[in-house]
Each structure stands twice: as C-alpha cells, then as structure tokens.
Structure 1
C-alpha cells in the first residue's frame, strides 16, 4: 500500500534523531477555500472557529483555518488525501479533535484543519453478544454513550477512564487508564480492531493479525500515524450495582503496601485507586454526605487538617441477588487492610452512577463557573522502587496542600500493558500512576496574571526537575515535551520505531501537529 523513498527515509531519520526537525518553521498554509472543491457528505466551516482553538487545559490557543464536520469516514479520507496531494509546500496540517479534553493544545492545528470527530457520534454502532462479546463504535463516540448502549444488552467494556465524556479515538490514542487497569490493563489492551485513516488518506482496517504494525502504532500513538475512525472494543457481562468504599491511611508505606497486595490478589476488588490529601480541612465530614461511615461518632472526631492522609478507594461489583455473598467477600478483604479503623466509608450505587461519577462534579463546577478554567495537569508513571523517594520529596515539601485539585496515586501491573503499542511505561512490573489534577481559577478578574496558574506550573516544574535530578525513572502519561531531544528521551528504545512508523503512515508529518513531536516541512532535496 505504501511506497518508500529510502534516501528520504534515511534523511528523515537523521533529521529526527538530531532534533533538527523540531525547529523547521512551517510554510504559510494554503487558502482554505481550495477545500470547497471536495465532494463530501459533511461540510467545512471557515468562520467562528474560536471554540476549536481551545481545549480543557485552557492554556494554549491556536486558531485553525477551517473545521471539517465529517458525515462519514470517507469524508475524513478525502480531506486528508487532498491535503497530502497538495504536498509539503502547502504547510497545511490536520488534527482530529474529540471532546476537546486535551491539556496543552494537542488536538489543535495552527492554521490547519481540525476534524470534529464527534460529528460521527451515533453512526453504525454494532454490538456482537456472542461468546466473546464486542462492540464496533465510531472513533468520535463518547464512552458514556458506548456504556449506555452496551448496558441495554447487559454488557460493558472492561477498562475505563475516570471521566466518560471523552471520545473513543481520543483515549485510545493515549492509553485510557483508571482503577480497573491493574486487572484488565488500559483501554488500549482491550481493543480487537481499528479502522484508521492514515496521513496519505488511505483507510486501513487493522488488528493484531492484519496490518499489525499500524494497529499497535496507533494505540497510544498520540495521533501521529492516523486518525482512529472506528474501534472494536471487548466487552464483558455488566454488573447492576457497585459497593463503593473509601478508607484512610496516615502512613504512606502501609497505604502503598496494601494497594500492592490488593492488585496482586486473584480475588480482590474490581476497581482500586488512591489519592493523597495534604492539609485539607473538613474532608472527612464532606464525605459523609455520600458515604456512610461504619462508626459515625469516631469518624466525626477524625480531623484531617494539617495532616498528610492517603485515601484508598475500592469497589466491588455485584448483582442484587448476590448481595449477601459480596458483603462477606468485601468484609474479608477489608480485614486484611491496615487503614485507620474509624475511617471506613461505604456507599452503594448503580454501575452507571459509579462509572459516570466525575460528570456529577463537572455539572456542579460548571454551575459555579469553575470548569472552564486552566487545568495545568501533570500525569506521571513512577516505578515502584522509587515511589517512596518520590513521595517523601513531593508530598509536603514541594506541595503543601491539595486545595486546588486531587492527587491520584495507585499501582498498576506492567504485565497488563502490551509493549508492542506506542505507549512508554516504566520497566518495573509494578508502577504507579500519579496524577496532579490542578485547577487554576483566576483569583480576581482585575489581575493581569493568573497567580494560581503560575504557582501550579512552578510546582509542576519542581516535580519534574526533582524526578530528573533524582533519577526517578518516571515517564509522563499524556506527555508534553518542548524539544525533540525530550521526545526521544521519552520514547527511549521505541523512538526509532516511532520515527519509522511516522514515515510509513504520515510521510509529510501533517497529522496531530499539536503534539509538537514532528513538524511538517518542505521535502529535502536529494
């Protein structure tokens, strides 16, 4: 399907590995009106594009020249093929935008074309409910809609993100991680098949057995090798109810040892996450509005102010007819844990209510004008052997409170991640996801600078500098780097494969420019 110019490939690799490609300036984009000649089922929009130059991070804003609203996969293919045929001299780039939940402009296309993937929502969702059930969905479909559709048949995907109002293609281009990852792996470990439109406009069906190089490259590939337009997602029987539990620890070592014990057990909880609480007033009492404490009197006397605490959050899925059995299983598991005895908080909700829990917070924050603010998030993967050194320096020294957002911290098993994908993770069998999920609302509209944002960014920089100086061996999840040398260090042994796949599937480097890994540039003279 692809022809390769070997001299150009060698030169491309040389430029990439030297870091030169990051600094090539893009030519001026073509006049977007040339796109109007395309025969599409969907349409282009050339004005009022501000919404497509923003994202959830609210820190970067790059205006595209146009936005394409596809009505079919062929619309995406025709558009990319057209831009490819214009050649490198046009400078025009293409970015797929899902729900706009990227943090640092990754789904933006400065002066280029943004493809609104959500335009394909609801197109031809097909569910197979056989011995190994799966569902075929659009890459632009939201996970919340996938859940609603599969639950109609008593089924659900195995692995999730904490927030479901994200597109399938968006999370599969990264990894898709939540508290089920210790057991099922990330979302990219639960995909049977993809349909991808490459950087040449070709539509390719791929799987572990067919076009496997593109299949594994696109999973966690940050959109660099093609646009995921359809995905076949593995399903399992869905429970009706969830027993939702939180307990508190005052000792970090005990907290991590209990987490690691739970993820190593065959019979354990179905979801395991943790988070860090630093100098947070009134947290325990706030929980009581939705979580029932085992001992209300002792719980009311537990004060979190001025302390470092660690919360272990777990769930056990069940159906009503199995409630008594599940209760015994939960109590047996809890008996193995060494949490502060007065801080057992429990709640029972439907499976849908639990999985869509973050959306409840979103609605509340939107009503207060606190959702569309800068989100200087930092997501790290820390090897188990370094997590205590990391925690000692970061929790309480670099960070003195968690008022501006939660800090997630929980272990996952490397064996549940497929090393053939583009995602890079620490080498150790157990590593921790540590997510600093800060919000930075401006303290006053009269201020010229957002001091909260500056403080959060400074803290992020200190954390990263410590990781490098202490040789923590961390990797960034949802990575953002400013130089190609940093990208090369990020991918490590996978860098040459990443570059080879880029040349094979997006030879003009026109896809996902917002990742800032490669820059579209005029072809070199050979």
Structure 2
C-alpha cells in the first residue's frame, strides 16, 4: 500500500491520502447498510488527475470508484481495497449563461451552488431533487427525480454535455450529437462506463409565485385517476402524494394473531407556478378532481417554495433502506394495495414515509433509466429509517416487494436501496441488458470502475477473456 501511495503522490496534482481516519470516514454512505474501505483516497484537482488515477488502477489491477456527497444507499459510491476518487474538490461553476439557459460546472458542484447562483438571474434547473447538498455528477449518474419530473423528465434528461473519463483513462466530451453512445450511458449509469468530471446543463425561466393545493383522498383508485388526469394533460407544474395510515383498531379473527385495522389516507399536493395568483382558475382546476377534502392552500414565492422543508436526519446506528418502485399505470393500484397490506408485517408502518409520483415516458429519454412500457408510470416510494439490528429482516421484505414489482412489469429506481442478483438485472433492463454488457466491455474493458453494484453476465466475461488469448 505504501508503494501505491507513493506512486500516486508523484503523478496526482491533487491530494492523496491513506490515513486511517479518512479511510474510515469514507467507508460508508447515506444508506448505512454497506461498508467498504479503500486503500487510497485521491482528491483530483482536474480531469487529468482522474485519468491518471484510472490508468494507474488498470495497470496495477486495482478497482477505482468515485464519490462526492456519498448519498448512495447501496454502496455505489464506496470501494473495497482499491482507489476511491473523492470528487468534492472539483467544485467550480465555470460558465453561467442565463440568457442562453445553460451552465457548465464541475461534477463535484452541489445543486445548492447552482441554485444560489441561478435564482439571482431568474432561472433554475428544470428538475430539483429534495436534497440540494448532493452533487451534479452524483444525481446525473443516478437520474435525479423531482416534483416536476412528469413535465421535464429526470435531471439527466436536462443534461446538454458531459466531460467523461472512461475506464481506459480517455478524456471525452460527449453530447447527444457527439460521442452520443457514451453520453447516453454515462447518464444514469452509476459510474459503470466512465467518471463524470464536468457537466453542461439546461436552465429554464421560472415564474415568481406558486400556489399549492393539499388535497386529501380516502380512495386509492380515485387518487390515481386524478394523478393521471393532471399529469397527462400537464395542467400543473408539480405533483407529489404522501400516504398516511390511520390505525382504527385490531382484529383477532385469525387465531391469536393480532392484525392492525388500517385506513390509508392519501394527500396529493399539486403546485402551480404563476405570474399572479389571479391567473389561477381555481374552480375549473379543482372541480375536475374527486378528492375527499381540500385541506389547505399555500401561496409562496418561487424562491421559498423550492427550498427543502427539512434535511433528513440520520440517527446513529440506523440505516436508510429506501426503495422506489416504478409501475405501469395499469397495475399500479394492485401493486400499491399489496405493498401497503404487506408493510405492517415487517416494520412499524406508522413511522415509514410512503409516497407516490408520476412520470410520463415521453419525457424520459435515458436508456439507462428503464421504464415500464406505458405512457404514464406511477412511482411508489417506501422510505424506512431503521435500527441496524433490523436490516436483514427488512431487506428481505424489500427484496420481496422489488421482485413483485419486477414480475408485474415494473422497474426499480436504482438510486434507492437495491440488492440485485443477475436475474433481477435482466428483468430490470429486459432486452436492453445485452447492450449494457456490451457498453461495459467497450468503455471499461478492465472492469475496474465502481465494481460490486452491477452484476454482469459470466458468459460475456468468459467470451471476452478467450478473445484476448
């Protein structure tokens, strides 16, 4: 290890570290489920440092992974016994063009940095997640979903260009037109085909005011129908639904086993972005919906509305075993009913945030973000934060819900917790899975980039090794 440290110190312009404290600090991620510890941490100063580190890793037979905020949930930003690239020093916004509606920045720039700059000019990235402290490279590698994704797609769908260092150490600028194959697979590719070092991203103008309606439903089918109506006709600018359980008692009908009697209520929040509140035809908007009760109306400036309500706490000795299942609209109710009935069997359902969102497949273009084959898809999110002592049992049940979703034609949003074996990866990507394996062999032939998350075909690996003999 000392020789690796010495070698990298001589070739890297940025920082190189192997102190015990720093290695331990970067051995876990936000999920808190997976732990891996690298041999060496490299904090690159520029893309050339990234290229040198990758070439060195390939020569030495080491794996190499990238991280910045470390907000992954399944260890995607961790590395075991190899080189970990801490991208947080690549944190400069290089160009910002409010009139041309785009900016260019390093991959380690946080969305908060971009937003603080863009609000001064009356523009904003088209899609914002609920955490601004994550980085451009991180969310573009995952997708990045927000309240407006049904209109604007994922954050990756709003990327205009990328500087990428491939698994062979080549530095490539790619766009939808130039080096498009690499562009289309690095986005939502979880660092499997290249490391993002710089980003060019779209901006949009925004209106100064927002109005949000908080609508309560006691019938899931009616909620889903109203979500379909609002999103397919793009009547609104933001939508999210949160589910709340009401415990009405217990049943002892099945022997001595106690079963909770739960009534679920569903709160849909719809948001309009306007120049003036007087522009809203509230009667026309709400009269077309079939909610149980109109709970609240909230008027905020746009600047205030987009700010996260609160940061998610992460108590000591807990894990964030969150999952998002993306479902064909036609089977969404059946799956959600099953998931909500199953939830109390393995976790304290009263403490688990549960929510729903919508996506229109016409606005989601990235091939590495697989979607069900319907125009409208419904996302169900379960976000349990649990004691680490419960991890194994909870993960088994989340795997059950994952498998059920895949069998029903759904997909998983891989930014949340995922424990995928090869059959699950095949279901996730379907006919496109062979292409994913092909792209991996092309841009990371040594299979050193961000290992351990994706499980590739053994047959493909054997074929490749024979070809090299």
* TM-score computed with the length of structure 1 as normaliser: 0.79
Mapped partners of 1:279, 1:455: distance in 2:
24
Between 1:512-521 and 1:308-317, the stretch displaced more is 512-521
- Please state how far the C-alpha of 1:329 moved relative to its aligned partner: 3.0
Q: Does 1:396 align with 2:363?
A: no
Q: Given the superposition, is the C-alpha separation of residues 317 and 108 from structure 1 closer, same or farther in structure 2, using an over 3 Å criterion?
A: same
- Please state how far the C-alpha of 1:397 moved relative to its aligned partner: 3.8
- The structure 2 residue matched to 1:422, chosen from 368, 377, 380, is 368
Q: Does 1:324 align with 2:324?
A: no
Q: Given the superposition, is the C-alpha separation of residues 331 and 139 from structure 1 closer, same or farther in structure 2, using an over 3 Å criterion?
A: farther
Mapped partners of 1:35, 1:403: distance in 2:
53
- Please state how far the C-alpha of 1:396 moved relative to its aligned partner: 2.7
For the 8 Å contact 1:120–1:141, the answer to whether it is kept is: yes
Q: Aligned residue for 2:218?
A: 250
Mapped partners of 1:455, 1:169: distance in 2:
33
Mapped partners of 1:315, 1:388: distance in 2:
24
- The structure 1 residue matched to 2:285, chosen from 327, 333, 350, is 333
For the 8 Å contact 2:8–2:53, the answer to whether it is kept is: no
- Please state how far the C-alpha of 1:146 moved relative to its aligned partner: 1.0
Describe the SS at the equivalent of 2:448. Answer: coil
- Please state how far the C-alpha of 1:472 moved relative to its aligned partner: 0.9
Mapped partners of 1:386, 1:224: distance in 2:
32
For the 8 Å contact 1:185–1:417, the answer to whether it is kept is: yes
- Please state how far the C-alpha of 1:75 moved relative to its aligned partner: 1.3
Q: Aligned residue for 1:150?
A: 118
- Please state how far the C-alpha of 1:223 moved relative to its aligned partner: 1.0
- The structure 2 residue matched to 1:276, chosen from 222, 226, 243, is 243
- The structure 2 residue matched to 1:348, chosen from 270, 283, 299, is 299
- Please state how far the C-alpha of 1:33 moved relative to its aligned partner: 2.2
- Please state how far the C-alpha of 1:30 moved relative to its aligned partner: 9.2
Describe the SS at the equivalent of 1:347. Answer: strand
Mapped partners of 1:108, 1:376: distance in 2:
17
Q: Aligned residue for 2:257?
A: none
Q: Aligned residue for 1:515?
A: 453
For the 8 Å contact 2:210–2:302, the answer to whether it is kept is: yes
Mapped partners of 1:60, 1:414: distance in 2:
32
Q: State how many pairs are aligned.
A: 446
Describe the SS at the equivalent of 1:390. Answer: helix
Q: Aligned residue for 2:352?
A: 405
Q: Aligned residue for 1:17?
A: none
- Please state how far the C-alpha of 1:381 moved relative to its aligned partner: 0.8
Q: Does 1:80 align with 2:75?
A: no
Mapped partners of 1:430, 1:478: distance in 2:
19
* TM-score computed with the length of structure 2 as normaliser: 0.89
Mapped partners of 2:97, 2:405: distance in 1:
45
Mapped partners of 2:440, 2:10: distance in 1:
26
- The structure 1 residue matched to 2:185, chosen from 217, 236, 239, is 217
Mapped partners of 1:208, 1:464: distance in 2:
32
Choose between structure 1 and 2: higher strand proportion: 2
Mapped partners of 1:436, 1:165: distance in 2:
22
- Please state how far the C-alpha of 1:337 moved relative to its aligned partner: 1.4
- Please state how far the C-alpha of 1:346 moved relative to its aligned partner: 2.2
Q: Aligned residue for 1:476?
A: 412
Mapped partners of 1:173, 1:465: distance in 2:
24
Q: Aligned residue for 1:445?
A: none
- The structure 2 residue matched to 1:44, chosen from 10, 16, 32, is 16
- Please state how far the C-alpha of 1:58 moved relative to its aligned partner: 0.4
Q: Give the alignment of 1:227-266 within 5 angstroms.
A: 227-266=195-234
Q: Aligned residue for 2:251?
A: none
- Please state how far the C-alpha of 1:72 moved relative to its aligned partner: 1.5
Mapped partners of 1:372, 1:259: distance in 2:
37
- The structure 2 residue matched to 1:197, chosen from 158, 165, 173, is 165
- Please state how far the C-alpha of 1:166 moved relative to its aligned partner: 1.2
Mapped partners of 1:257, 1:263: distance in 2:
10
- Please state how far the C-alpha of 1:454 moved relative to its aligned partner: 4.4
Q: Does 1:431 align with 2:431?
A: no
Mapped partners of 2:239, 2:436: distance in 1:
32
Mapped partners of 1:493, 1:465: distance in 2:
18
- Please state how far the C-alpha of 1:306 moved relative to its aligned partner: 4.1
- Please state how far the C-alpha of 1:269 moved relative to its aligned partner: 1.5
- Please state how far the C-alpha of 1:483 moved relative to its aligned partner: 2.6
For the 8 Å contact 2:336–2:380, the answer to whether it is kept is: no
Q: Which has the higher contact order (CA 8 A, sep 6+)?
A: 1
Describe the SS at the equivalent of 1:247. Answer: strand
Q: Give the alignment of 1:87-126 within 5 angstroms.
A: 90-121=60-91, 123-126=92-95
Q: Given the superposition, is the C-alpha separation of residues 251 and 113 from structure 1 closer, same or farther in structure 2, using an over 3 Å criterion?
A: same
Tell me the alpha carbon deviations over residues 86-116 of structure 1, each in whole angstroms, 9 at most, x when there is no partner. Answer: 1xxx431111102111011111110011111
Tell me the alpha carbon deviations over residues 293-326 of structure 1, each in whole angstroms, 9 at most, x when there is no partner. Answer: xxxxxxxxxxxx942111101112234xx2322x
Q: Given the superposition, is the C-alpha separation of residues 30 and 208 from structure 1 closer, same or farther in structure 2, using an over 3 Å criterion?
A: farther
Tell me the alpha carbon deviations over residues 356-398 of structure 1, each in whole angstroms, 9 at most, x when there is no partner. Answer: 325x243xx36xxx37720111111111111121122121344
- The structure 1 residue matched to 2:5, chosen from 33, 37, 41, is 33
For the 8 Å contact 2:327–2:405, the answer to whether it is kept is: no
- Please state how far the C-alpha of 1:331 moved relative to its aligned partner: 4.3
Q: Given the superposition, is the C-alpha separation of residues 350 and 65 from structure 1 closer, same or farther in structure 2, using an over 3 Å criterion?
A: farther
Mapped partners of 1:388, 1:417: distance in 2:
22
Describe the SS at the equivalent of 1:32. Answer: helix
- Please state how far the C-alpha of 1:279 moved relative to its aligned partner: 2.8
- In structure 1, stretches of 5+ residues that fail to align are 1-28, 282-304, 443-449
- Please state how far the C-alpha of 1:252 moved relative to its aligned partner: 0.6
Mapped partners of 2:2, 2:412: distance in 1:
35
For the 8 Å contact 1:95–1:514, the answer to whether it is kept is: no
For the 8 Å contact 1:278–1:395, the answer to whether it is kept is: no
For the 8 Å contact 1:192–1:234, the answer to whether it is kept is: yes
Tell me the alpha carbon deviations over residues 21-63 of structure 1, each in whole angstroms, 9 at most, x when there is no partner. Answer: xxxxxxxx89532533533321111112111111010011100
Q: Does 1:357 align with 2:308?
A: yes
Q: Aligned residue for 1:504?
A: 442
